Structure 1
Amino acid sequence: MRMAGTKDRFSQRHPFLFGVLMIILAMALITGVMAFFRALGWTPGSLALSGDKIGIVHVEGMILDSSRVVRFIRSLEEDDSVKGVLLRVDSPGGSIAPSQEIYAAVKRLNQVKPVIASYGTVAASGGYYASCPARLIFANSGSITASIGVMAEFVTVADAMEKFGIRPEVLTTGKFKAAGTPLRNLTDAQREQMLGLMQDLHDQFVDDVAEARGMERARIAAIADGRAVTGRQALALGLIDRLGTQADAVEELKKETGIEGRAAVIEGPVEERTFVQELMGALKIDLSSSLKQGWSFYYK
């Protein structure tokens, strides 16, 4: 029983606020420790490991930026203790240039040490593009892959604005400059020009897949109509090499590298997050939002 005249502790008077402060302090400590390890060049999986290793590169979600993945691939390329790399892909694709940058990094790495790709739920469009230079590609029979093609998406609000008596002015120095602006509908000439641009991006996709897979371009072009296929169908089409799980791919990589027994692993890339992002994640609070503006081309 509380003695008369004594005061409740802060934690008793404000339990919710006290809990939030404890989470903040804990996250500050964890973030500080992680920053210290990163400053020393250590990554999760690299601590207390010696001898030959394999790297695991994760390509996940929409491919909108390639910088973290490419940096991690380069670090594995330069690490002599890493004898081979597993590229684990679970991505529906994304922006074109980042997909091409990962493609180039994987292609270069595979010239130095073996790279084996493993597909999870989906490795389609840009996800397939980025990984097809791997020495071998494993997919589950139910993985969704391929979807070779280009998509452009944008919204026009010109007709809706007209109904409200709003008539926007868009001034340009050329007839193609405003193509895709939401304030104007596409003209026939603009649509034709954009389709020509998309066709060139499509041809780049087909060319690179054909080169990476060592297949005749005509074979790739025949199925490059945007269709998605299962892992089993992809095997029949020559788009992948074997059906199997991630564990199967790891075992094959160990054979390729001559590593016996349990392999030490360096896994990444590590997501660089600010203290506020770490805190929001701990509190399960998502304050992010996205708003698409204009138009974009995707391997998606």
Structure 2
Amino acid sequence: MQPNKLSFQQKHPLLFALMLILAAVALFSGVMAALRHSGTSARGGLFREDRLGLCRIEGFIADSAKVNDWLRELREDPAIIGVMLRIDSPGGAVAPSQEIYNAVRRLAQIKPVVVSMGTVAASGGYYIAAAADHIVANPSTLTGSIGVKMELANMEGLMDKLGIAHDALTSGDLKNAGSPFKPMTDKERAYLQGLVSDMHEQFLEAIAAGRNMDLEEVRKSADGRALTGRQAMQLGLVDSLGDLETAFERLAELCNATQSAPLPYVEGPPKEKSFLRDLLSSYLGIELDSSLRRRSEIRFLYL
């Protein structure tokens, strides 16, 4: 009769115990990593608690997709009870600014939204801020600059020097308006000015609606001039003066948060990492995404 074979556990008790410990450590590390990963999204992890959302809007506004996706996530997450918009932007393209404004309006219908203005929150940056429940600016924040600008180039003189002629066939008198290869006619100028004026009127209407102000009152300070935070507050464009901490305190009040410790918050939109782009941005001192998107012959800008 053969003796019973010893199991691996019996043959190597110390090694077996070490393997159990390593397995437990690996399991624990995996769970913690999952919790940390879930904590970077607005929807939270396994252990939910009331939190605030922070949405950063920085640099030239050329696209609204990432910001609006993040705002939608904050809006749909029941654990997020209020949202902070940290705006540090000189403005940008008209349509993306309008789209983010609309996203903030939808969010503010459900949850309190407070804006904290950084160094600059002007033109398109202010357009977005106007949709929030409360705006906090630093006394020296540059804001306002309520207006629309269309940039056109005229290269006719250069083309003449180079001996290059340019012809264009169009289906109408105004189809080639704004061409850089010819002088602008009075008819074209009036047409393009009409586009700018209509966009400007949309800007004023959005501020009046978002700030609950009379349209004519908004018009008084909407001549394109930049304002300090203190001047903007005197004109009713800003609610209070302070920094980001001041804005968080105001947001907590609007959320009826009574705990003494600050509420945790989750920040976005998530940024895509690119070593080469980050290296070039650092070396050149510019945000490559924003700069590269600004190229076009005719640009309507909230700047």
Q: Same fold (TM over 0.5)?
A: yes
Amino acid at match of 2:272: E
1:296 alignment counterpart: 299
On the 8 A contact 1:49/1:264 being kept in 2, the answer is no
Q: Following TM superposition, by how much is the alpha carbon of 1:44 offset from its aligned partner in structure 2, in angstroms? A: 6.2
**How far apart are the structure 2 equivalents of 1:217 and 1:206?**
7
1:209-248 matches, cutoff 5 A: 209-248=207-246
**Cα distance in 1 between the residues matched to 2:138 and 2:262:** 23
- Within the candidate set 54, 64, 67, 2:65 is matched to 67
| Per-residue Cα deviation, 1:62-100 (whole angstroms, up to 9, x for no partner) | 000011000000000000000000011000000000000
User: Does 2:169 match 1:171?
Assistant: yes
1:134 maps onto 2:132 in alignment: yes
Give secondary structure in 1 for the equivalent of 2:146: coil
Gapped runs of 5+ residues in structure 2? 1-32
- The 3 A distance-change label for structure 1 pair 231 and 48 is farther
Question: Aligned pair 1:43/2:33, yes or no?
Answer: no
SS of the counterpart of 1:149? coil
* Cα deviation, residue 101, structure 1: 0.5
Structure 2 distance, partners of 1:41, 1:204, is 40
Alpha-carbon spacing, 1:162–1:280, altered in 2? closer, same or farther (3 Å): closer
Q: 1:280 to 1:61 in 2, by over 3 A?
A: closer
Q: How many residues align?
A: 261
After TM superposition, the structure 1 = structure 2 runs for residues 106-185 of structure 1, keeping only pairs within 5 Å, are 106-185=104-183
User: Given the superposition, is the C-alpha separation of residues 243 and 49 from structure 1 closer, same or farther in structure 2, using an over 3 Å criterion?
Assistant: farther
Q: In structure 2, what residue type is equivalent to 1:228?
A: A
The whole-number CA distance in structure 2 between the counterparts of 1:41 and 1:64 is 29
Deviation for aligned residue 1:170? 1.4
Query: Aligned-pair distance for 1:163?
Result: 2.3
- CA shift, 1:293, in A, is 2.9
1:19-38 to 2 correspondence within 5 Å?
none
User: Is residue 197 from structure 1 mapped to residue 200 from structure 2 by the alignment?
Assistant: no
Distance in 2 of aligned mates of 1:285 and 1:49:
42
Q: Which residue of 1 aligns with 2:254?
A: 256
Task: Indicate if the aligned counterparts of 1:234 and 1:240 stay in contact, CA closer than 8 A.
Answer: yes
Q: Which amino acid aligns with 1:160?
A: L
Give per-residue Cα distances to partners, 1:91-136, cap 9 Å, x unaligned: 0000000000010011110010000001000000000001111111
Give the SS at the match of 2:197: helix
For residue 50 of structure 1, report the CA deviation from its aligned partner: 3.2
Root-mean-square deviation (CA, aligned residues, Å) is 2.3
TM-score by length of 2: 0.80
Deviating 4+ runs (over 6 angstroms):
none
Could you tell me which runs of 5 or more consecutive residues in structure 1 were left unpaired when the two chains were aligned: 1-35
The one-letter code sitting in structure 1 at the alignment partner of 2:75 is E
SS of residue matched to 2:109:
helix
> TM-score by structure 1 length?
0.81
- The CA deviation at 1:279 is 4.3
Q: 1:49 to 1:254 in 2, by over 3 A?
A: farther
Q: 2 CA distance for matches of 1:264 and 1:41?
A: 14
Distance 2:69 2:154 in 1: 38
Q: Distance in 1 between matches of 2:181 and 2:149?
A: 21
Aligned twin of 2:265: 265
SS of alignment partner, residue 112 of structure 1: coil
Percent identical pairs in the alignment equals 42
Paired AA for residue 281 in structure 1: D
Aligned partner of 1:278 in structure 2 is 275
